[in-house]
Chain A
Amino acid sequence: MATKGKDAQSPLTDPQAQTESTAALLRELVAHLRQNRTQLREEWARRITRAQLLTAMTEEEIFAEATSVYDNYVEALETGTFEALQAYARNLSERIIPRGVETHEVVGIVLLLRDVLARSLFGKYHEDFDKLNRILDAYEPAANRIANTVAVGFVQERERIIRQQQEAIRELSTPVLQVRERLLILPIIGVIDPQRARQLTEQLLRAIRTNRAKVVVIDITGVAAMDSNVANHLVQTVEASRLLGATVIVTGLSPEIAQTLVTIGVDLSEMATVGDLQGGIEEAERLLGYKVLPLEEVTPKA
Chain B
Amino acid sequence: MEVPILKQGHYLIASIQSALTDADLSHLREALIERVGRFRARGVIVDVTALDVMDSFAVRTLRDIAHMARLRGAETVIVGIQPEVAFAMVQLGLTLKGVSTALDLEEGLAFLNMQTQVRIERGGPGRIDRG
Which A residues lie at the B interface, using CB under 8 A? 198, 201-202, 205-206, 208-209, 212, 214, 236-237, 239-246
B103 near A202 with CB under 8 A, answer no
Residues of chain B contacted by A206 (CB below 8 angstroms): 83
Residues of chain A contacted by B84 (CB below 8 angstroms): 202, 205
Shortest beta-carbon distance from A187 to chain B in Å: 20
B64 interfacial by beta-carbon distance below 8 Å: no
Q: Can you give 24 contacting A-B residue pairs, CB < 8 Å?
A: A205-B84, A205-B86, A206-B83, A208-B83, A208-B103, A209-B83, A212-B103, A214-B103, A214-B107, A236-B91, A239-B95, A241-B86, A243-B81, A243-B85, A243-B89, A243-B90, A243-B95, A243-B101, A244-B81, A244-B83, A244-B103, A245-B102, A245-B107, A246-B103
Residues of chain A contacted by B96 (CB below 8 angstroms): 243
Q: How many A-B residue pairs have CB under 8 A?
A: 53
B83 near A236 with CB under 8 A, answer no
| Docked pose: A230 CA to B84 CA in angstroms | 20
B87 near A240 with CB under 8 A, answer yes
B79 interfacial by beta-carbon distance below 8 Å: yes
Top 9 closest A-B pairs, CB basis? Answer: A205-B83, A245-B102, A243-B86, A245-B103, A240-B86, A236-B90, A240-B90, A239-B90, A239-B95
Query: Which chain A residue has the least Cβ–Cβ distance from B102?
Result: A245
| Docked pose: A246 CA to B83 CA in angstroms | 12
Residues of chain B contacted by A240 (CB below 8 angstroms): 83, 86-87, 89-90
Query: Which chain A residue has the least Cβ–Cβ distance from B48?
Result: A243
Known: A243-B95, A243-B96, A245-B107. A202 touches B87 (CB 8 A): yes
Shortest beta-carbon distance from A146 to chain B in Å: 47
| Docked pose: A180 CA to B101 CA in angstroms | 22
Q: How many residues of B contact A (CB 8 A)?
A: 19
Question: Is chain A's interface secondary structure helix, strand, loop, or mixed overall?
Answer: helix
Residues of chain A contacted by B108 (CB below 8 angstroms): 245
A245 near B101 with CB under 8 A, answer yes
B91 near A202 with CB under 8 A, answer no
Q: A236-B91, A243-B95, A244-B83 are in contact. List 4 more A-B contacts (CB 8 A).
A: A202-B84, A243-B78, A243-B89, A245-B103
Residues of chain B contacted by A209 (CB below 8 angstroms): 83, 103
Residues of chain B contacted by A244 (CB below 8 angstroms): 81, 83, 86, 101, 103
Query: Which chain B residue has the least Cβ–Cβ distance from A205?
Result: B83
Which B residues lie at the A interface, using CB under 8 A? 78-79, 81, 83-87, 89-91, 95-96, 101-103, 107-108, 111
Question: Is chain B's interface secondary structure helix, strand, loop, or mixed overall?
Answer: helix
| Docked pose: A214 CA to B103 CA in angstroms | 8
Residue in A198, A214, A236 with the greatest tally of chain B CB atoms within 10 Å: A236
B101 near A242 with CB under 8 A, answer yes
A245 near B79 with CB under 8 A, answer yes
Shortest beta-carbon distance from B104 to chain A in Å: 8
Shortest beta-carbon distance from B130 to chain A in Å: 34
| Docked pose: A276 CA to B101 CA in angstroms | 27
Residue in B83, B89, B103 with the greatest tally of chain A CB atoms within 10 Å: B83
Residues of chain A contacted by B81 (CB below 8 angstroms): 243-244
| Docked pose: A244 CA to B77 CA in angstroms | 11
Residue in A205, A206, A212 with the greatest tally of chain B CB atoms within 10 Å: A205
Residues of chain B contacted by A214 (CB below 8 angstroms): 103, 107
Shortest beta-carbon distance from B102 to chain A in Å: 4
Residues of chain B contacted by A243 (CB below 8 angstroms): 78, 81, 85-86, 89-90, 95-96, 101
Residues of chain A contacted by B90 (CB below 8 angstroms): 236-237, 239-240, 243
Residue in B79, B90, B101, B108 with the greatest tally of chain A CB atoms within 10 Å: B90
Residues of chain B contacted by A205 (CB below 8 angstroms): 83-84, 86-87
Residues of chain A contacted by B89 (CB below 8 angstroms): 240, 243
Residues of chain A contacted by B87 (CB below 8 angstroms): 198, 201-202, 205, 240
Residue in A201, A206, A243 with the greatest tally of chain B CB atoms within 10 Å: A243
Residues of chain A contacted by B91 (CB below 8 angstroms): 236
Shortest beta-carbon distance from A271 to chain B in Å: 13
